[in-house]
Amino acid sequence: MEPQLDQLFGLSEQAWLSIDQVATLLGMLTSILALVALLLGALNRDRLRAWLTRNRFPQVGQHPAPDARWDAIVFTVSRREVPCWVLETLKPKLIGLVVTAASRAAGEEIAKSAEDLGIHVLPLEEMADPDDPAEAQIKTRRLLEDVAARGMERVGVDVTGGKVPMSLGAFMAAEEALADTLYVTVEYDKSTPRMNTAKVLPIRQPR
């Protein structure tokens, strides 16, 4: 013979009915939250994927194939020599430049060299504060969005030039956009880069 509700754990039938109602309510709330999370995940797939894979770098420092090419490259700029060498070596279709007041002249020289090679140049993005990684991230993201709008598929961000905060901000923007991050290693003779020693090193290739 089954025990009565009011005999279980010394609780009354009314108490058990209240518990049942609370359990039903919690079940409904859980279902609603799961549905909301599903909808948000569907609407923000890229951000969700970036969050789920944050701080995981399984493809770091891999050398590019001899014929590796990037359709578009965004540069953080300090001097002209290294970016100009990259343009002549990789021959992208499109470039973007993140400059500062101090490096704007170098950026304009790089843009001129690119145009001479038949490479399209996006309007320069000038930073007000080269020590602000958040600003570098915003400027780089803006260029990457313009690159994507123009249908460029394989995109790289060269973080060789500029101050360290600029490079960090540019790297974060590249991660958000799932773009490759590139760095050019080169030996120097005093303060002059020896471009015959230069080589492109992909820091991160998320795709």
pLDDT value of residue 102: 96
Please say if the pLDDT value at position 9 is more than 80. Answer: no
Alpha carbon distance, N-terminus to C-terminus of the chain: 65
pLDDT digits (tens, 9 = 90+) for 22-52: 778 777 777 777 767 666 655 556 665 655 5
More confident residue, 106 or 23: 106
Predicted local distance difference test score (pLDDT) of residue 25: 77
List own/partner pairs for 82-85 with CB under 8 A and 24 or more apart.
82/160, 82/161, 82/184, 82/186, 82/193, 82/195, 82/198, 83/110, 83/158, 83/160, 83/161, 84/109, 84/110, 84/113, 85/184, 85/195, 85/198
Token code pair at residue 148: 């994507």
CA dist 151 and 72 (Å) reads 10
| Crossing angle for the helix pair 104-116 and 81-90, to the nearest 10 degrees | 20
Q: What are the angstrom distances between the C-alpha of 26 and each of 37, 39, 49, 57, 169?
A: 16, 20, 29, 39, 43
Contact 163, 131 (CB under 8 A): yes
Which one-letter DSSP state was computed for residue 195?
E
Helix segments in the chain, DSSP class H: 13-43, 45-52, 81-90, 104-116, 133-149, 164-177
Question: CB neighbours of 95 closer than 8 A, spacing ≥ 6?
Answer: 72, 73, 74, 75, 87, 110, 111, 114, 119, 120, 121, 122
Average pLDDT over residues 93-113: 97
Distance of CA 14 to the CA centre of its chain: 57
Question: What is the rounded average pLDDT for all residues in the chain?
Answer: 83
Percentage of the chain lying above the pLDDT 90 cut: 55
Question: Tell me, what's the pLDDT at 39?
Answer: 65
Q: pLDDT-based confidence at 194, cuts 50/70/90?
A: confident
- Amino acid 65: pLDDT: 47
User: How high is the pLDDT of residue 17?
Assistant: 73
Position 6 pLDDT exceeds 90: no
Q: How many CB atoms lie within 10 A of CB 22?
A: 10
The per-residue pLDDT for 22 is 75
**Mean predicted confidence (pLDDT) in 56-62:** 51
The lowest-confidence range among 35-39, 74-78, 160-164 is: 35-39
